[in-house]
Chain A
Amino acid sequence: MAAPHQPVTGRGPGLLRYAPALTVSAFALPIVAGLLGTVLPAFGVMPAIGATAWGLQAWRMLFDSPGFATSLKLTLFTGLASTVLSVLLAIGLAAFVQHRAWARRLGAFIAPVLATPHSALAIGFAFVIAPSGWLVRLVSPGLSGWSVPPDVSTVGHTSGLAIVACMLLKEVPYLMLMTLGALNQVAAPAQLAAARALGYGPVQAWLKIVLPQVYPQIRLPIYAVLAFSLSVVDVAMILGPGNPPTLAVMAVRWFSAPDVRLYTPAAAAALLLLALVGAAIVAWHLLDRVLARAGRRWIERGRRAGVANAAAAVSAGASFALFATTLVVMLALLLWSFARQWRYPDALPAVWTLANWQRQIESAAQPALNTLLVGAVATGIALLLTIACLENEVTRPGGSAPQRRPLGQGSLWLLYMPLLVPQVAFLFGAQVLLIHASLDATLFAVVWTHLIFVLPYLFLSLAEPWRAFDSRFARSATSLGASRWRVFWRIKLPILLKPTLIACAVAFAVSVGQYLPTLFAGSGRVATLTTEAVTLASGEDRRVIAVWALLQAAFPFLVYALAAFLPRLVFAGRRGLT
């Protein structure tokens, strides 16, 4: 008889039953309330500034604002191009590497990229591609003949291409890891072997047999990338054109303006962004179905040879170029942070120094402490709620076969809600509520808004290993006389220590990277490394900016390294724990 999976006890502690409702409220309530707080001003109602008459004035102001059409086009182009390219590259890369032995190690290599905040990458990317940036310096004046920086615009180019390129640096690894992760859920190796026995090459076999099964599981991550790319603020502020900027940046600018009359068109812009994201997701879904039908014909045609191999190799090449760029970007930040004198067109700094770091350390202490505190508390709360939810599942009827009963589509959509709703669409409304409750600019408010984004990532990262836990370990321990509590602390948690710590590191990285939530909930008065780095990014002194961007990137990186290293230290020499 197959190994049975049974819960520890028939009935769990009563309190666990409330965990799912509590968890959902923790992130859904502020989003829904915040959305309401954005909808009302968009239609003219905002008592706080004395506006009480319903109307479309806000929308007229938005549509009539200078450069609105350009901004709309820019938003759509950067959002859609980032997503389409990310998906194509990630799938091509996955198809190219999946049958190779080092595919798993590649995952471990690109995980730190995911931990790096968007804004740190954007800052470093600007250093590399700017007309006076590292790339031009490397070829000047020798190869290019530019003895002064060329008079072209790269950072801030009106096309938004710099935004797209920087988004790719983060989103390709993200979607690639999601794809590789989803492979565990289908019997990929056996089916690949079957397809290859029928004469299909590894890439063809993967694209035709595995991808159609994996795709439904990466659909929501793709939608998250779509929503994020359309509404990203920090990257667009650092790398995008300033006038007009993308819709999201425009909305944030108006929300932060001293002129309160700009609040209502800002709310309208935020709401328009929400509608764009919704429409884009619907359009993607429809396109999916058309492509799926075409794909089936392609699969059933029975052709063994084709361009798929070459296409996969090309996207893998492009993806590796992206990874290399990420390394170059981090290196550029490092060089600048230790440079005392780095004149154009020198390829390297002429004079090195530690002074940049020494000078910033003092002013960085408080933001660093805030970053650590907010990240740790938000991660801790999210971990408690997540474990409570997952333990509650085990005690429910039918919890005996958890891994065969994955999360329903409804719950998954709910979990993804914070990643699908543009931040700017509900953060302003939430801020108004926080001001009403006199909670704005408190660490409590910042922690809670971070929790909205930390929770889904932690849950999604921990759920699968938690559900895969062999509950017979727990039954064994129980039969030895261990209480439920003791089984949890002494058996289950230690065995699941590694995935738990990794999930915490992911969550912490998400918290560190938050720009807009910190800005709004903190009313601009709670400084973290990220808010400071983004603010400084518009400044002139690259040496100072580099120090802050590196500090910002170092926190999640160190926590990630700790999470990977700690279990090895605690359970040194235990081979059964993989």
Chain B
Amino acid sequence: MTGGAALRLRAVRIALAERELIVGLDASIAPGECLTVMGPSGCGKSTLLAYLAGTLDPVFTASGSVCVGDTELTALAPEQRGAGILFQDDLLFPHLSVGGNLAFALAASVRPRAEREAQIASALAEAGLPGLAQRDPATLSGGQRARVALMRTLLARPRVLLLDEPFNKLDTRLRNDFRAFVFEHARERALPVLLVTHDEADARAAGGPVIRLEDA
């Protein structure tokens, strides 16, 4: 499971009771490309990501098709979709070390232990944090934590990358760096990316097509 295939949304419709949040959304995102969905709070853009990830609250009704290559994601359990997601908060698991967080993401089929440790070490090096596997995530800076969160998502070898305003809470300088870091890695791994945000600068940095959702 990894990048290289396009993400296609067909006739995606999400409603909350009588309220239509998303009506007949069609989109195609090529590997390495980023589609930005923009809109004000409450317009349903995070709901769209939850639908893709398979974690939509049952109060919503949704229909449509979401394919990566030939695989229909909506038919799969959430954990089998390979829909890597980054939130506004890094959500590093507080009870695990930095390395433990990364190991949790790594498939069990990656063996033996030396190989697992090697992959974790190289992911940390890639994030500019070599040798920090034993550290408590709470002792890292905001920027460091954000990079670990991305590496954690990538180590699970996702098919697509979903970004739920992950740049929002970082200060301006860090935000630029982290944006570049995320998009560079997504391109490198040929991952289709779906970004939801209300920040125009995010959309510009993503460089791909933009869809604007109206306030429903």
Contacts and interface: CB of A to CB of B under 8 A. Distances in A.
A2 to B, nearest CB: 7
Nearest to A486: B79
Interface stretch (B42-50, B120-128, B180-188): B42-50
A208 interface: no
A495 interface: yes
B91 interface: yes
Nearest to B168: A1
Interface in B9-63: 41-42, 45-47, 50, 53-59
Nearest to B139: A575
Interface stretch (A91-99, A414-422, A456-464, A471-479): A471-479
A395 B56 CA distance: 10
A69 B105 CA distance: 71
Interface in B85-109: 85, 87-89, 91-95, 104-105, 107
Nearest to B81: A479
Contacts of B192: none
A301 B210 CA distance: 58
Contact of B55 (A9, A490, A574, A577): A9
Interface string A1-42: 111101111110000000000000000000000000000000
B197 to A, nearest CB: 9
A2 B136 contact: no
B57 A9 contact: no
A7 B51 CA distance: 11
B104 A477 contact: yes
A11 B89 contact: no
Interface stretch (B111-119, B150-158, B171-179, B201-209): B150-158
B3 interface: no
A242 interface: no
A396, A473, A574, A575 interface centre (most CB from chain B within 10 Å)? A574
A507 to B, nearest CB: 23
A495 B138 contact: no
B83 interface: yes
B89 A398 contact: no
A482 B95 contact: no
B79 A10 contact: no
A398 B92 CA distance: 25
B54 A10 contact: yes
B105 A10 contact: no
A397 B95 CA distance: 29
A11 B164 CA distance: 23
Contacts of B85: 475-476, 479
A478 B59 CA distance: 20
- Most chain B CB within a 10 A radius of its CB, from A396, A399, A400: A400
B2 interface: no
Contact of B94 (A395, A400, A577): A577
Interface residues of A, number: 41
A2 B104 CA distance: 27
A6 B51 CA distance: 10
A298 interface: no
Contacts of B162: 479
Contacts of A399: 57-58
A571 interface: yes
Among A8, A396, A478, find the residue whose CB has the most chain B CB atoms closer than 10 A: A478
A495 B104 CA distance: 15
A497 interface: yes
B167 to A, nearest CB: 13
Interface string B135-157: 01111000000000000110010
B78 interface: yes
Interface string A475-492: 111111111100100110
A475 B53 CA distance: 8
B156 to A, nearest CB: 4
Of A399, A571, A576, most buried by chain B (CB within 10 Å of CB) is A576
A199 interface: no
Interface string A509-535: 000000000000000000000000000
A479 B158 contact: yes
Contact of A571 (B41, B87, B95, B105): B95
Contact of B79 (A3, A482, A495): A482
A470 B107 contact: no
B140 to A, nearest CB: 10
Given A6-B56, A479-B78, A472 B91 contact: yes
Contacts of B104: 477, 480, 482, 490-491
Nearest to B92: A576
A344 to B, nearest CB: 56
Given A1-B165, A399-B57, A576-B138, A479 B156 contact: yes
B165 to A, nearest CB: 6
Contacts of A573: 136
A465 interface: no
Given A1-B42, A397-B58, A576-B94, A8 B78 contact: yes
A398 B57 contact: yes
A181 interface: no
B80 interface: yes
Contacts of B136: 573-576
A395 B59 CA distance: 10
A494 interface: yes
Contact of B89 (A1, A3, A491): A3
Among all A-B residue pairs, the 10 with the closest Cβ atoms? A576-B94, A576-B138, A575-B138, A400-B57, A480-B156, A397-B58, A397-B59, A494-B95, A479-B85, A480-B105
24 contacts: A4-B47, A4-B50, A6-B56, A7-B55, A8-B55, A10-B58, A399-B58, A400-B57, A470-B91, A472-B89, A473-B91, A473-B93, A475-B53, A479-B78, A480-B152, A481-B79, A482-B79, A483-B77, A487-B79, A494-B93, A575-B136, A576-B138, A577-B94, A577-B95
Interface of B: 41-42, 45-47, 50, 53-59, 77-85, 87-89, 91-95, 104-105, 107, 136-139, 152-153, 156, 158, 162, 164-165, 196, 198
Given A1-B165, A473-B93, 7 more contacts: A3-B87, A475-B50, A475-B53, A481-B105, A494-B93, A495-B94, A571-B95
